[in-house]
Amino acid sequence: MNMPKPDLYDYIFSDTEISQDAAVLDVGCYNSKALCYMKDRYKLSGTLIGIDKNAKHFEDSAAQLAEGIRLVEMNASEKLDFPDNAFDFIFHKDALECFPDISGHISELCRVLKPNGQIVCVHRDWETVVCNGSNKKLINKAIYGYANFLQANWMDACDGWMGRRLFGLFNKTKMFESSIDCYNDIGTEFIPETRGYGYINSMNSFIGPTGFLTQEEYDELITDVAASYDNGMYLFSAPFYIYKGTKIA
C-alpha cells in the first residue's frame, strides 16, 4: 500500500525539535508561510521574526493574522541588524543564491545564532527541475533560463546549482555540525494550485527583450506541457535540498 507523501514543510520539520519559547528567525520570509507553519506546529510563544528585502511581500501575509510574528524589511546581504546569539532557530528557504557574498552571509547567520542553536536551510536545485513534454529543446531552454535568470529589484545574485552546493557551503565553514537531505516534489497534474503549473505559468514574467523566452515560445511551452497532461504523459519534479546544522558551541 502506497502511503501519501508528506508535504514539503511536514517533511522538513518531521525530525526537528523547536522549544516552545525559542527565538526564531526566518531569512527571506516572503509571505511568512514558514513562520506561521512553525508557530502552529510547535505552539511557539517566543520571539518570531521574519525578514525580507522587499516589504511588499508582507501585504497579503498570513502573519497579519497570526499574533506574535514580526516582519521586518531588511537587506540580509548586509550585516544583520540583530545582536550576537539572538536566536535559537533560523529558517532559510530558496534565498541563499541571492547573496553575492554567501560565505559572509553564513558567518552572519552563525553570529546571530546561539551556541547549539539550529539552522535549517532549504533550496531547490533549479537546473534539476524536470517537466515532461514533447518539445525537449524548448523545455530545456525554459528550465535553464529560469534557473539562471537574475530577477531585477530583489536578487543580487543567482545560481541554478544552489541546491547541490548547499551542504558544501555550510560544511566548509566548520561552524556547524551538518547533515543533508533531499525532498523530491513530484506532480502528475498540470492544474492550478500545483507547483508545476505555477512554475510553468510564472514564466510569462520572463518574456521579451530582457527575458529568456519570446511570447511565441511561452505560448508553445504552455500548449506543449498542457498537451502532455491531457495525453497522460505529464510529470513535474523539483528537488529541494535540506541542510540542517547545529552551531558548534
Q: Taking residues 120-129, what's their average pLDDT?
A: 98
Assigned C-alpha cell, 161: 546549482
In the chain, CATH 3.40.50.150 covers 1-125+161-184+240-249
pLDDT at residue number 68: 86
pLDDT at residue number 57: 66
Assigned C-alpha cell, 207: 518574456
Residue 131 pairs in a beta bridge with 236
pLDDT at residue number 2: 45
Question: What's the pLDDT band for 1 if we cut at 50, 70, 90?
Answer: very low
Q: Taking residues 234-247, what's their average pLDDT?
A: 98
Least confident window among 62-71, 89-98, 156-165, 230-239: 62-71
**Other CB atoms within 10 Å distance of the CB of residue 240:** 20
CATH of domain 1-125+161-184+240-249: 3.40.50.150
pLDDT at residue number 210: 85
pLDDT at residue number 177: 97
pLDDT above 80: residue 61: no
pLDDT above 90: residue 40: yes
Angle (nearest 5°) at CA 28 between 191 and 143: 45
Assigned C-alpha cell, 115: 551556541
Question: What's the pLDDT band for 135 if we cut at 50, 70, 90?
Answer: very high
CA gap 41, 52 in Å, rounded: 22
In the chain, the percentage of residues whose pLDDT exceeds 70 is 94
User: Which residues have a Cβ under 8 Å from the Cβ of 6 and sit 6 or more positions away?
Assistant: 14
